[in-house]
Amino acid sequence: MDQISRRELASFGIGLAYLFTGGAAAALDVGGTDPMRFVSPEYKPLFPVLRRIAAMPPWDAKSLPNLRKPNALFVSPPPAATPPVVESMIPGPKGAPDVRAFVINGGAAGALKPAILHIHGGGFVMGSAKDGLRSLQEHAAAIDCVIVTIDYRLAPETRFPGALEDNYAGLKWLYAHAAELGVDRERIAVMGDSAGGGHAAMLAIAARDRGEVPLVYQVLIYPMLDDRTGSSRKMPPHLGQIMWRPADNRFGWTSLLGVPAGSARVPAGSVPARVGDLRGLPPAFIAVGSIDLFVDEDVDYARRLIDVGIPAELHVYRGAPHGFDRLPSETARQFNLVLRTAIKNAFDFAKK
């Protein structure tokens, strides 16, 4: 790379091996303006990396095998010694394979703990529950909760509703096995980031509609909620130029839905932003950066929840790109404090 070495990238916790695979770079489309102009000055040490990310080849069927290689985008630190992590295989949806899950901080003696069903990100097409274990351990310790994270089947090999049903199977398993996991089954939340945030929103909707597992909270971190973003709905050119771009979004949603992103019709329950009635959903925490491709859809989802009487806490971080919490910054540190406080408060409120 021009201004930064592989070793320096690794020191940021950013693998970005994909940047070294060659191929045509994507053109930047910000109306002739340097995309770094819109990024918070806090990230200035990372500008060489972010600029290179902005020029990466688009996500598509050709690039997907490279993207799926270990540490292609982010270096995942190994799990810590504590809280404990236990891998389990749980019954999958009817006619589908069993689902791998990781239980963090489960089975501890003492009072029952609240729990989070976590869903990893990756544009619906990549990623693994193992990738985020270290950060989830930190959340579990700070919040004093149990976290179960699910390895759902990925698109395009598995179309909707495969991943939703995997995640729902995980939620039902958590609820059914609450006692042995040390979980208070009346205090269960769902959480995810990016595509995982979209999956968490889908899961909250499915849980409401099926009426089998009550949820007290949904934590949506820069969630992927609307297939029309960057397809049938053109975005301002300064949004979504770093980390996750309109072409990437079209590929991710098309891979999941099995029809082109932005189509007039999509499978029911597959796109949270298209669900007409949000009444009866659990309170929400939503966070997104101000230059994230998803900022408009995330702000609008929070507004729609509020309009039907669902408490929603919304945070928009100035000049922050998609995935900002994985970049070394004061914003990321403050975000984690705010996030954990919000989840603790939600669990405390549900206990009363």
As a whole number, the mean pLDDT across the chain is: 91
- Minimal CA–CA distance to 73: which of 23, 122, 18? 18
Q: How far is CA 3 from the centre of its chain?
A: 30
- Residue 23 pLDDT exceeds 80: no
Q: Given this model, what pLDDT does residue 32 score?
A: 57
Q: Given this model, what pLDDT does residue 110 score?
A: 83
- Kindly report, residue by residue over 262-301, the tens digit of the pLDDT: 999 999 999 999 999 999 999 999 999 999 999 999 999 9
DSSP 88-136: EEE--STTS--EEEEEES-S-SSS-EEEEEEE--STTTS--GGGGHHHH
- Residue 1 pLDDT exceeds 50: no
Q: Given this model, what pLDDT does residue 15 score?
A: 52
- Alpha carbon distance 265, 259 (integer Å): 9
CA atoms within 13 Å, Cβ hemisphere of 182? 15
Active site (annotated) includes residue 227: no
- Alpha carbon distance 42, 289 (integer Å): 13
DSSP letter, residue 60: S
- Using pLDDT thresholds of 50, 70 and 90, give the confidence band for residue 210: very high
Catalytic residue among 166, 227, 248, 292: 292
Active site (annotated) includes residue 199: no
- Alpha carbon distance 238, 333 (integer Å): 25
Active site (annotated) includes residue 292: yes
Question: Domain map of the chain by residue range?
Answer: 6-67, 85-351
Structure tokens that stand for 262 in this block:
């932005």
- Minimal CA–CA distance to 149: which of 85, 80, 81, 218? 85
- Using pLDDT thresholds of 50, 70 and 90, give the confidence band for residue 335: very high
Tell me the mean pLDDT in the region 23-27: 44
In terms of DSSP bridges, do strands 284-289 and 99-104 run parallel, antiparallel, or are they unpaired? unpaired
- Residue 29 pLDDT exceeds 80: no
Tell me the mean pLDDT in the region 192-216: 98
Tell me the mean pLDDT in the region 215-240: 97
What single-letter amino acid sits at 59? W
- Residue 24 pLDDT exceeds 70: no
Q: Given this model, what pLDDT does residue 70 score?
A: 78
Catalytic residue among 120, 322, 325, 329: 322
- Alpha carbon of 12 to those of 22, 110, 339, 340: distances in Å? 22, 38, 22, 23
For residues 330 and 75, the model is more confident at 330
For domain 85-351, the CATH architecture is: 3-Layer(aba) Sandwich (3.40)
- Minimal CA–CA distance to 183: which of 275, 117, 268? 117
- Using pLDDT thresholds of 50, 70 and 90, give the confidence band for residue 4: very low
- Alpha carbon distance 317, 313 (integer Å): 13
- Kindly report, residue by residue over 151-182, the tens digit of the pLDDT: 999 999 999 999 999 999 999 999 999 999 99
Tell me the mean pLDDT in the region 25-41: 69
In terms of DSSP bridges, do strands 183-193 and 99-104 run parallel, antiparallel, or are they unpaired? unpaired
- Kindly report, residue by residue over 84-135, the tens digit of the pLDDT: 999 999 999 999 999 999 999 998 778 999 999 999 999 999 999 999 999 9
CA atoms within 13 Å, Cβ hemisphere of 12? 24
Catalytic residue among 76, 128, 194, 255: 194
Tell me the mean pLDDT in the region 186-201: 98
Tell me the mean pLDDT in the region 10-18: 48
- Kindly report, residue by residue over 55-79, the tens digit of the pLDDT: 889 999 999 999 998 765 667 789 9
